[in-house]
Amino acid sequence: MKKLFTFFLLLFFPLSFSLADTKNSVNIYFFHSSTCSHCKAENNFLKNIEKQYDNVNVYRYEVHEEKNQEKIKVLEDSYQIHLESVPVTVIGDTIFYGFSEEKNKSEFIRAISYYSSYGYPDKLGHLFQVKTLPSYPYSKNTLSYSSYLKKINVKILGILPIFTLDNSMNASILGVLSGINMIFLCSLVLFFFLIQKEKEHKNRLFLSIFYFFFSYLGNIYLIKQGIWYALFITLFFFILIFYSLKKKESVFYLADIGLVLSLMVTLITKYYFSYTIDIFNHINHLYQFTGLDYLSYLICYLFPLFLIYLILLCILCLINEKKRNKKTNL
C-alpha cells in the first residue's frame, strides 16, 4: 500500500503549488435576514469564499437591525432599487438578487474573478467608509463586466460551456481530450516503427515506457510551465548521450531519439495545439484553486490522461509480444 501511495504521489504531485499573485481587493456587501433560509445558505457559501480568497472581504448587514437602516437607504439610492426581499448581494459594483446553489455560485465566482483583475468604482465602499477599498485604478477604458463574461464563457469542444459542469468533470474531460492528442498519437506511431529495429524485447518494452513517461511529463509541464522541465530533459539527454558513447548500444540512441521526439511534441502542443491546456488554466484562474483544491483539480485532469497513456502502452506491448511470438514460431 505504501508503494502504491508513493507511486501516485510521484505521479500527480509535481509542481502542484504556484506563487500567489497580488489581487485587487474585492468587497462583497451582503444584505440578509436571520430568518431567511436562502440567506443562511449564501452565508455559508460566503464563509468558504473568505477562506479561499485572501483578497475578498465580506460585509454583512442584517436588514432588521436599526443600525443598518441607513446603509439600506444608501444601497437603494445608489442602485435605484427598493429592497423588498433578501438576500441582496453586491460584489464589487454588480448587484445580485436572491441566492440558489445551482445558479449563483458560478455567478459569484465569475464576479470575484473579474473584480480581482480589474479596477472598479466601489460606490458602497466609499459611502460605507470601509477600510478595504480597491487597490487597482479604474478608468472608463477598463474592460466591462458584461464584456468579461462573454470573454470567459468558453466551451469545451465548442458545445459545453465550462460553467454547466462540475470542475472535476471539466478537468476529466480535458484530460481525456489531451490524451487523444493527434500530435502525440502520430509521434507514438513513428516511435513505434523506430523501436522495431531493436531486437531485444525487453529493450523495446523499456523504450515504450520511457517514451510514455516523458510524454506524460511534458503534459505536466504544459500545465505548470517552468525551467525544471528544460533542466530535467537536458540532464537526461546528456546522460543518455554518455551511455550511448560508452556502451555503444542502439537502445540508448533510440532513447535519445524518443526524448527529443517527446520534447518536440510538447513544444508543438504548447504553441499550436494548447486548447485543452488553455481551458484547464482558464478554469483554474477563475476559481483560483490553492492547496488541496488545486491538487484535486490537477489529479482529475492527470488521472484520465494517465489511464489513456497506460492503455496505449498496453496495446503497444501486446503488439510487440505478438511480433516476438511470430518470430519465435518461425
The per-residue pLDDT for range 293-316, each reduced to its tens digit, is: 888 888 898 898 888 888 887 887
The per-residue pLDDT for range 214-268, each reduced to its tens digit, is: 888 887 777 776 666 667 777 777 776 666 666 667 777 788 788 888 888 888 8
Say if residue 168's pLDDT is above 70.
Answer: yes
More confident residue, 125 or 201: 125
Q: Which has the closest alpha carbon to 261: 208, 223, 297?
A: 208
Burial pattern 136-162, b for ≥16 Cβ within 10 A else e, equals eeeeeebeebeebeeebeeebeeeeeb
Say if residue 60's pLDDT is above 50.
Answer: yes
Cα–Cα distances in angstroms (integers) from residue 114 to residues 3, 31, 282, 299, in the given order: 43, 21, 13, 26
Q: In what order do the strands lie in the sheet with 26-32?
A: 56-62, 26-32, 88-91, 94-97
CB distance 14 to 220 below 8 Å = yes
> What is the largest distance, in Å, between two alpha-carbon atoms of the chain?
95
Domain ranges in the chain with CATH number 3.40.30.10? 26-152
CB distance 259 to 236 below 8 Å = yes
Give percent of the chain above pLDDT 70.
Answer: 80
Say if residue 19's pLDDT is above 70.
Answer: no
Residue 21 CB coordination number (10 Å): 10
- SS3 state of residue 82: coil
Q: Is the peptide bond before 87 cis (omega within 30 degrees of 0)?
A: yes
Say if residue 47's pLDDT is above 80.
Answer: yes
HSE-CB of 259 using CA atoms within 13 angstroms = 18
Give CATH superfamily name and number for 26-152: Glutaredoxin (3.40.30.10)
